[in-house]
Structure 1
């Protein structure tokens, strides 16, 4: 059964959290899709994943590239599972789709300082529960570690 994790970003921005979670997913042998709402955001995250740390990068491609189906990490603006991902990260308001059952895990990340993002995350929570999927809520502690709440 697909597990949907809601990550409430309060202490760090998406750009600090997402690369680490994607790296851990790849280490598990999972293929990864990262869904963003538009081209501008996809371009910004594409650049960021190549440069986010001094001693390395996260190999990936975007859905604009013809061989994207073969890549283990894909940035996309669409909902199709182009690279046969095991885990899908939804950022900046991307929504859980009807194809959620096709993933081992979906991670919905939302900005805890943005009232609109909080409202959307609550709507997504209700939607996921209505779909009969397991949903868990995660927050960072003061040390930056993620812990499941309630």
Structure 2
């Protein structure tokens, strides 16, 4: 299982996540996006709407109907009612339930960097887990060491 750590230094998660979601959907997969804060989920939802009409990313919130058919489902917990095998942890908080997915995207910022470092150390010692680190440099994502 692959865990991609994304260090948010320039753009907030609601501006970064749509590109990740588009790639996941482009692979024919579904995505579960998890954040505890309702306001953050609102911002992420707005970000998924923000592009031009042809780039709109169909999505829904848990409990608002038709959870099982949503390509991108926004939730406060790691239950993939849409059958997603990819999960995005958008609030800087690692959840071990993410290990039940095929791939996890873990977004963190300066506030949650210490928790991310601790998660990296723990995950890098686990069998079957491949952590990768990404950072923003001059508007691009580059893989770190």
Q: TM-score, normalised by structure 1?
A: 0.85
Distance 1:140 1:109 in 2: 12
Give the whole-Å Cα distance in 1 for the aligned partners of 2:118 and 2:88.
17
| Map of 2:108 onto structure 1 | 110
Is the 1:89–1:106 contact (alpha carbons within 8 Å) kept by the matching residues of 2? yes
Q: Which residue does 1:77 correspond to in 2?
A: 76
Question: Could you give the per-residue CA deviations for residues 82-114 of structure 1, whole angstroms, max 9, x where no partner exists?
Answer: 2121211111123232451x3221010112xx2
Query: Contact 1:5/1:137 (CA < 8 Å) preserved in 2?
Result: yes
1:134 corresponds in structure 2 to 130
Q: Which moved more, 1:58-67 or 1:124-133?
A: 124-133
Indicate the SS of the match to 1:138.
Answer: strand
Q: Matches of 1:44 and 1:146 in 2, distance apart?
A: 21
**Residue equivalent to 1:33:** 32
Deviation digits for residues 4-35 of structure 1, max 9, x if unmatched?
01011112222221101111110011110110
Which ranges in structure 1 are unaligned for 5 or more consecutive residues? none
Secondary structure of 1:84's counterpart equals coil
Retained in 2: the 8 A contact 1:37–1:93?
no
Superposition RMSD on alpha carbons, in Å?
1.7
Q: How many residues align?
A: 143
In structure 2, the CA distance between the partners of 1:39 and 1:105, relative to structure 1 (3 Å rule), is same
